[in-house]
Amino acid sequence: MRISTIMICFVICGSVNAAEPQLPERVKVKDFENDKGEKLRLLWGAAAIEDDEKEAALKSGKSVPKTSGRKPASTIKEPKKDRSHKPDQPYFKYVIERKSILLKPEPDPNRDDFDPEAPLIALREFEVVAEVEGNKQEFVDKELDRKHNYVYRIKLKLPNGTISDPSQTASATPVLQWVDQSKLYFGLFMLVVCGSVVYFIEAAKAGKTLKIRKIAGLEAIEEAVGRATEMGRDCLFIPGIQDINDIQTVAGITVLSRVAELTAEYDAGLDVPTTRSLVMTVARETVDGAYTAAGRPDLYNPDNIYYVTDEQFGFVAAVTGKMVREKPAACFYMGAFYAESLIFAETANTVGAIQIAGTAMPSQLPFFVAACDYVLIGEEFFAASAYLSGEPQQLGSLKGQDVGKFIAGLFLILGAVLMTVSQFVHRGESGEKTGDLQNVISFITESLLGT
């Protein structure tokens, strides 16, 4: 009986000791893939050994072996007698220590004994850079310097604060990757889009007719100017409330050129208030050129394109007051707008003006749609310059971008279908989804979508 008791105690003590965590047998450092030379990947234990096997298989031309049956550190169970930590947390932690070595000494003119051929100089001793939970076998060190070689070692830290002796060391140097291979798909996509743009530009130059759907808001410009001419009233054009560095203001100035050309042909008045002095200057040059192109330079009056104020609602008060007093027959709002959009549209509606608006501000589009006769929504607004000018460069660029949008739309549909189908994919023993379809979905979500 006494011998049996001793044997049982020996077995229990042996099992407790066997459950004690051990330092990893293998520690490995490698350059982080597809970065600009600022990261290193530290592997240890089963993860390091499996990575060695994968590299050996790739060098020999064999297929990459699947995950081995080694149990990771997370399978190490804590002794039942230890109650110093929470049950849902790992039994121990890995302490990552690092020191760096300068690969080439920097010249120091203050040192007479400086020797460029001198041996490497250690900058500092080992220092703790991170503490990793015991169920992890990988650590990525960031914000490193490519001029240094980094040496790593690992220690174990138990819940009672005891820290073990260090493991074997491993070292590596960050390397700049000139090509991010994980983004090759994006390079291919850009190549297709840019190639499409060049192709359509050359086709337009060669005289091929590029079909562009009609945009109702741009087709209605001539109708609006003609109506103003018949009624003997002016046309009011507002190029947004942002400065000339805003792309929406630039797009609005492009439409202004077309409106000015029509008012010159029909001998109608054109009034252009602005909130920025630079926009006023550009608008004057644009209108002057349009009147000259129409053969009516004598009708151009720079006083009709004027600066009001930079203050948002001061500008709104001045313009709406002029709307009420002069009652323009056609109002054009082309540019970036904010809270003033509905004020302009409602005021012009009360005086019976035909209204055409164009903006890329999503928050203001509903107000323009509700109160205006025609609205250029988002891409239509930016496509106006190509639509109105008919120049081969602009038309080709527009058609090439449409190819890119078509491809992006296909990817969205494909992704939605695959994610739907993936809900019915067979799950493996671990509960994770498996199969080639899941691999495709993982590539789309991680590489294409970046999630």
Task: Tell me the pLDDT tens digit for each residue of 337-367.
Answer: 999 999 999 999 999 999 999 999 999 999 9
* 23-28 mean pLDDT: 85
Domain count, the chain: 3
Do both 436 and 326 map to the same domain? no
* 33-41 mean pLDDT: 87
Asked if 237 and 224 touch (Cβ cutoff 8 Å), the reply is: no
Do both 59 and 150 map to the same domain? yes
Q: Is there a domain that residue 269 lies in?
A: yes
Do both 200 and 232 map to the same domain? no
Do both 37 and 137 map to the same domain? yes
Q: Is there a domain that residue 388 lies in?
A: no
Asked if 201 and 396 touch (Cβ cutoff 8 Å), the reply is: yes
SS3 (DSSP) at 273: strand
State residue 261's pLDDT score: 93
Do both 307 and 376 map to the same domain? yes
Domain that holds residue 401: 182-207+394-448
- Where among 160, 178, 196 does a domain terminate? 178
Q: Is there a domain that residue 6 lies in?
A: no
Ramachandran region, residue 361 (left: φ > 0; alpha: ψ -120 to 50; beta: rest): beta
Instruction: Return the CATH number at 42.
Output: 2.60.40.10
Backbone angles phi, psi at 156, to 5 degrees: -100, 140
Q: Is there a domain that residue 5 lies in?
A: no
Q: Is there a domain that residue 389 lies in?
A: no
Do both 48 and 174 map to the same domain? yes
Instruction: Return the CATH number at 376.
Output: 3.40.50
Do both 190 and 145 map to the same domain? no
Q: Is there a domain that residue 10 lies in?
A: no
| Of 334, 135, 118, residue with least CA distance to 221 | 334
State residue 449's pLDDT score: 55
Instruction: Provide the token pair at 48.
Output: 């390091």
- Where among 382, 404, 436 does a domain terminate? 382
Q: Is there a domain that residue 304 lies in?
A: yes
Do both 357 and 220 map to the same domain? yes
Beta bridge partners of 413: none
Q: Is there a domain that residue 9 lies in?
A: no
Q: Which residues of 423-435 are buried (b: 16+ CB within 10 A; e: fewer)?
A: eeeeeeeeeebee
SS3 (DSSP) at 40: strand
Do both 237 and 201 map to the same domain? no
Task: Tell me the pLDDT tens digit for each residue of 116-152.
Answer: 555 555 556 788 888 988 888 899 998 888 888 899 9
Instruction: Provide the token pair at 50.
Output: 């499996």
Ramachandran region, residue 309 (left: φ > 0; alpha: ψ -120 to 50; beta: rest): beta
Do both 271 and 151 map to the same domain? no
Do both 188 and 172 map to the same domain? no
Handedness of CA 308, 383, 225, 374 (dihedral sign): negative
Task: Tell me the pLDDT tens digit for each residue of 263-288.
Answer: 999 999 999 999 999 999 999 999 99
Do both 40 and 166 map to the same domain? yes
SS3 (DSSP) at 274: strand
